Amino acid sequence: MALRISDRRLPDNPWLTREFGFDQGYDEFTEESSTNEALEWLEEHGDKPFFLHVHYLHPHGPYEPQEPWVSEFDPGYEGEWKRVDNEFLERCERPGTAKLDERDLQHFRALYAAEIRSMDEEIGRILKKVGELGLDANTLIVLVADHGEELLDHGGLNHSHTLFEELLHVPLVLRWPEHLPGGTRVSSIVRLVDVVPTVLELLELPALESARGASMLPLIQDVGEVLPPPRMALSQRYHMLQRHLLSARIGKWKLQLLITPIGPDLLNDWSIIEPAERDFLWRNAHRLYDLETDPGETVDVSREHPEVVQSILEQVQTWRRDNDPGIPSGTAGSGVEGLSAATLQRLRDLGYVGEVEALERR
């Protein structure tokens, strides 16, 4: 069962709809749901084995959290941005364009915190229901997010425009009493693509041959012991002016690259831009950061460590060769064909103007 939770004030995320194939594999797939429906579903189906996927859009722009959370985090704000809408986010998305004084920024952060607090309350209701139904001991719970948010960390606001850690480093929590060691924190790199292999191994189900990730169980169960080799975490983002961004992290090193499309499939048809080529935001098409000494990613050390850059580049190319996804025509590489006008407008309403324009150009 999949439930996509909407608070009814905003259109839910239209990327996760039947039009994009997200109903595949579910016995039931419900859009525009509420937490109450998730609780009712648990009461009805909790007496037999189940898989329940609950998706919350928030925290997400536009920031319009309800009371009492706004007053809890910033009750005295009287400035211009009591409501952070998409017009504001679009104007501030590009680094260096956000014009906020310190008080406005404090309120912006408070609105984001209020959105998190509101979502936390809803997730808490689900966890409470699991406990009330006596399902705690035999229910694996996975909590994960898809991206973070920039709050002027690198001169911009919102998300989608960079691949710095404030956007990539997200929560991942697994809970299964008597099966997973409580309170364990894994410091090694783990990735979203590792979630499914981990869940399948925990449940003693066959692994997926097509899975790109690897189970996290060796990292969870052997903390403090000999760990597997560091994993490479790859992230990619469509970038303005027909450029893309690629991030590759291995251990303490993180390499950000400018890449350019060479075909219709934005996920896979691209080439790496030469290091010396400049972009309107980048002085160098390759940027290397040492996250151990520079967690804020403020100092590019690619010239000081060319051997690290070369090593990561080689591993990226090896990964591409070994992980050709073979995405069929008409899925990730397609444009607006098959998408309704209502879906495209819902994407615009949520601030995905650039993505819609990119689809319409293809």
Domain count across the chain: 1
Instruction: Note whether residue 301 is domain-resident.
Output: yes
pLDDT tens digit at each of 362 positions of the chain = 555 454 333 335 666 777 777 777 888 888 777 888 889 999 999 999 999 988 888 887 777 777 888 888 888 888 777 666 666 666 665 555 556 778 888 888 888 899 899 899 999 999 999 999 999 999 999 999 988 888 878 877 777 778 899 999 999 999 999 899 888 888 888 899 999 999 999 999 999 888 888 898 888 876 544 456 778 999 887 654 445 788 999 999 999 987 776 665 555 566 666 655 554 445 557 899 999 999 999 999 999 999 999 999 999 888 877 765 543 333 344 444 556 676 666 555 555 545 545 444 44
Instruction: Note whether residue 306 is domain-resident.
Output: yes
- Residue 254 is given by DSSP the state E
Q: Count CB neighbours of 293 within 10 A.
A: 9
Q: Give the predicted TM-score (pTM) of the model.
A: 0.78
Helix or strand or coil: residue 173?
strand
Instruction: Note whether residue 79 is domain-resident.
Output: no
pLDDT computed for residue 57 by the predictor: 81
CA count, 13 A, side-chain hemisphere, 299: 9
Instruction: Note whether residue 210 is domain-resident.
Output: no
Residues in a beta bridge with 53: 2
pLDDT computed for residue 178 by the predictor: 84
Instruction: Note whether residue 98 is domain-resident.
Output: no
Supply the range of the domain harboring residue 294: 230-325
Instruction: Note whether residue 258 is domain-resident.
Output: yes
Residues near 292 by beta carbon (within 8 Å), at least 6 away in sequence: 252
241: domain CATH number is 3.30.1120.10
Q: How far apart are CA 101 and CA 33, in angstroms?
A: 38
Q: How far apart are CA 340 and CA 330, in angstroms?
A: 15
Instruction: Note whether residue 280 is domain-resident.
Output: yes
Instruction: Note whether residue 263 is domain-resident.
Output: yes
Q: How far apart are CA 91 and CA 99, in angstroms?
A: 9
CA 345 to chain centre: 22
Q: How far apart are CA 1 and CA 28, in angstroms?
A: 5
Q: How far apart are CA 168 and CA 159, in angstroms?
A: 10
